[in-house]
Structure 1
Amino acid sequence: MDNTGVAEGNGFSLPDISYIDRLEEKLAILKAISETEIPSETPNEPPRRIDQTGVKENVWAAFLVATVDELQQFLDFKVRSGRFFVETIETILMGVDFAVANVISVVMNKRNTVKSSYTTSAGQTASSKQATPSRPATSKNGVGSGIQSLLGKAKKKTRNQFSIDQIKERDGGKCTLLHTTVKEAVHIYPVAQTKAAAACKNSLYALGFIWGGNTCDKFKDALSIKDFDVPKNMITLDNVPRHLWDTGKITFSPVLCLPNRIDLAVRVLEPLDLGKRKGAGSELPEGIATDPRTKMRGYKNLADRIIEKPAERPVEVCLISADTQYRINDGHRFTITSDDSNMLPSPELLKLRDRIMTMMTLNGGGDVDEDVLSSSSGGDDAPRVLFGDGDVEIDLKDKVLEWSERAGEELAPLTIDEANEMAWTSSAIQQSEDMGDIFPPESQPEDQGESQGED
């Protein structure tokens, strides 16, 4: 097994995790937050730490997707400043728990029930469940996943053909990732102009306690689009990447935002290994400072072995560029350009969806058991998307076979042993010499790309 890019933790190898930037810095700040003693609202009570037993996975995920600057602001102004009592912080974090469950349910239209729970001061557990459809609904006319179920009985909206034609012209009628011919684009945020969108904006008020008011205000402004079919809310994708995006298998992270260009990086979202959990209270042994790498399938603690279920024989799905015939790896970067900044996809909508999908992954994902793996053999870090029999539409399989034949490769099902031995490897963003500098989402210059997300 190739351990390149693998960290060490408690004497064991920790697999790399590519979809959380600057993880070590974040964990250091989260440790400081969890260890700081905060004044109590009860007179004569000594300062104490935030009760980590009351911190649930939704809250943990919200902290991890925040930027380093946002976490530092939380540490300085919410924890160390003395402006908030420890009981106040704990109460607000309960609201964050519900907010995360809400936005995941709304935006990703999860197959499973989204749960939000917390422990009351009396030691009782309260919970909230939000039922979601059994499968993400994807309309045939190009509307993004989950639209039909989220609209419910509302009157069906008429498509904005003018905007659709604009997007076709912007993207040349091709998938921005694979460069294959595509009829229509898909929505970045699939529930704008519905009650669900309003509920998501309300949840951002609670999330603003961790992410900061400025960040959440930008997200709320981006959600105020007046129509589904506007260039700011649409991106052209072929069926396969669209399906993976809709079901939370991959995400597109903005890495460069300029007035006439936006660069996105493909991130494969690896589901965490829920089988490692033994019961209530053991999910987050270090509270908000728990290292997510210890929850990944590549982490093997010899002192705490688990019984692995035999993997079903899967089909390997490789994303291949129609132009280059090369595989698209985890971290691959692609570009969308336009002479008119208002024609570009909104970076704020993309950032919001990226955070939501990452939180869903950290929470265990939605029906993604053994779905997304990456090969470590021979330094090959191409995403290997694994589907059980009957879980993929026929046209999707045909498209994959077509790409494989064009690339001169043959799809071969993995054996059970190969699937069990699969491990994650880190990968660098693929960058050509003429692509310019890469700015991480949290360190982009203030004067670049801040306006294209605004009306």
Structure 2
Amino acid sequence: MSEPPSPTSPSAAAASAGDVLERRKTEVIRKLAAHVPSDDGDPIRLKKLGIIEKVLASFEDPNMNSDYLDEINNFHSYRYQPMTSTLAYLDNIEQRLQLLKDIKTTKLKYTDPEVPPKALPAELITHVVWAAFMAAPIDALQTLLNNMQSGRVGYHALTDALGQVETNLPILIHIKRCVLLGTTDPHVAHIFSHAAISHVSMYRSKLNCLATIWGDARINRYQEAHGESLDVPQNMLSLNYTVHHRWDKAQVAFEPIGQVNNSTIRVRLHLLEDTKLRSLKRKRDSSRDEFQWRNDLAQDPRETLKPFKDQFSSPSPLELRLVSSVTQHIVRDGHIFDIKARNPAHLPSYELLDLQYRICLMATLLGGGETSDEYLSESDADNEGQARLSDSKKILVDQWFQRMETDPVDLATAVIERLEEEKAIEEAWGEPS
């Protein structure tokens, strides 16, 4: 009788490999059977059956080769993520609205104890002030409410702070300016606008207007992140052109949700919506009656939002479809991905990303996301290379004619309104520091 092959012999290794292969095949057949329907009343399994049939048919295609198999393998290597609810960027909305109801009804103490406490007057709650509360972290709103109820924040302190928000927040929004799709044609996108770097000290100062609502500690972190040197990797992202363009227009936003380690930041993509409040900024606009601002701090933002229009098909909503170049999967709203850097010193700043995410939310809530590059263009520099305000004369003509294609308006009125806006921005900027 012949001896059984040694466990280390070539024949034993081949037999073992054959056993492993047979077990794999058996397991595949078992799993496959679990996904096919036992009757025609199971729509999900029927859909799976149809997909399986298509996959098997593709394997039998005479043109199938190793390259196509690599594409199929990449597609099925994708790790599916939970689908997010509509307007997921409006996080904890019910809790936020309840906090804002409490804030607007809480009576604030005056410095003079003889004067009875008083709630915030409705006329102070402009849509600009409301947007600042909507973009504030939930814990900051809870802290503000506690301070109001305990008397640590009084009437004059809070009303003065809201006045500063009304004055300075529009300027911060105007300054706003591929890690996502994996494409090989990335653009360098500055988190804090490259063209505004010479004005960063003024920007840091104006961030103070949000301290009462968002908290001193958070604003201090933001100010520290906006150092004198911002033309550095910490202030840059590598984005596909389409994503960069939509980010500039406040139609997408990147929410940093955690720092995995010193070389990785975890980010969530949000697809944003347009706002009915945009018409409030225009003196003659047929859509002004679309929404009436009620000076309500607890205004539900879901009532103010609407889909962006497709500029090439104005009655149709804009359909923004992003696709991963690696897996060919659609990158949907709420998609979570990691930004990594081999050198931790080159990782984008978490604080810069977080602030610009919140600025982007306020911009989209107010309809201010499409104006930043009209005033500050990254390619618009003087002979010494210093960023400066754009010469708007050609921009005025080009952009207002473009607007008239999808949003009919009296041209003379439109140009006058825009010149007034430009003058206000120039006065606010002043000379570079």
Please give the alpha-carbon distance, in whole angstroms, between the structure 2 residues aligned to 1:215 and 1:317: 33
User: Which of residues 231, 235, 238 is equivalent to 2:237?
Assistant: 235
1:231 Cα offset (Å): 1.7
Paired position in structure 2 for 1:81? 150
Paired position in structure 2 for 1:253? 255
Paired position in structure 1 for 2:334? 331
Please give the alpha-carbon distance, in whole angstroms, between the structure 1 residues aligned to 2:186 and 2:370: 28
User: Which of residues 194, 211, 219 is equivalent to 1:216?
Assistant: 219
Could you list the structure 1 runs, at least 4 aligned residues long, displaced by more than 6 angstroms after superposition: none
Paired position in structure 1 for 2:293? 283
TM-score, length of structure 2 as denominator length: 0.58
Q: Count matched residues.
A: 275
* 1:97 to 2:166 alignment: yes
Paired position in structure 2 for 1:344? 347
After superposition, give the CA deviation of every residue in 1:13-32 in whole Å (9 maximum; x if it has no partner): xx942212111111111111
After superposition, give the CA deviation of every residue in 1:56-81 in whole Å (9 maximum; x if it has no partner): 1111111111111101111112x112
1:316 Cα offset (Å): 4.5
1:193 Cα offset (Å): 7.2
Please give the alpha-carbon distance, in whole angstroms, between the structure 2 residues aligned to 1:284 and 1:209: 23
Paired position in structure 1 for 2:49? none
Which secondary structure state, in structure 1, belongs to the residue aligned with residue 306 of structure 2? coil
Distance 1:297 1:279, change over 3 A: closer
After superposition, give the CA deviation of every residue in 1:139-165 in whole Å (9 maximum; x if it has no partner): xxxxxxxxxxxxxxxxxxxxxxxxxxx
Q: Which has the higher helix share?
A: 2
TM-score, length of structure 1 as denominator length: 0.56
* 1:25 to 2:95 alignment: yes
Paired position in structure 2 for 1:56? 126
Please give the alpha-carbon distance, in whole angstroms, between the structure 2 residues aligned to 1:16 and 1:81: 37
The one-letter amino acid paired with 1:180 is: T
What does 1:78-227 correspond to in 2, within 5 Å? 79-108=148-177, 175-182=178-185, 184-191=187-194, 194-224=197-227, 226-227=229-230
Distance 1:315 1:52, change over 3 A: closer
The one-letter amino acid paired with 1:289 is: A
* 1:264 to 2:267 alignment: yes
1:265 Cα offset (Å): 1.1
Which secondary structure state, in structure 2, belongs to the residue aligned with residue 254 of structure 1? strand
Distance 1:225 1:320, change over 3 A: farther
The one-letter amino acid paired with 1:92 is: A
Please give the alpha-carbon distance, in whole angstroms, between the structure 1 residues aligned to 2:239 and 2:128: 29
Which secondary structure state, in structure 2, belongs to the residue aligned with residue 236 of structure 1? strand
* Contact preservation (8 Å) 1:107, 1:353: yes
* Contact preservation (8 Å) 1:193, 1:227: no
Please give the alpha-carbon distance, in whole angstroms, between the structure 2 residues aligned to 1:186 and 1:25: 34
Distance 1:278 1:318, change over 3 A: closer
Please give the alpha-carbon distance, in whole angstroms, between the structure 1 residues aligned to 2:195 and 2:297: 32
1:338 Cα offset (Å): 2.8
Where does structure 2 lack aligned partners over 5 or more consecutive residues?
Answer: 1-84, 280-286, 308-312, 372-397, 400-433
Larger radius of gyration: 2
RMSD: 2.7
Paired position in structure 2 for 1:362? 365
Percent identity, please.
31
Distance 1:200 1:284, change over 3 A: farther
1:365 Cα offset (Å): 3.6
Distance 1:89 1:20, change over 3 A: same
1:45 Cα offset (Å): 2.8
The one-letter amino acid paired with 1:90 is: T
After superposition, give the CA deviation of every residue in 1:379-433 in whole Å (9 maximum; x if it has no partner): xxxxxxxxxxx99xxxxxxxxxxxxxxxxxxxxxxxxxxxxxxxxxxxxxxxxxx
* Contact preservation (8 Å) 1:57, 1:284: no
Which secondary structure state, in structure 1, belongs to the residue aligned with residue 297 of structure 2? helix
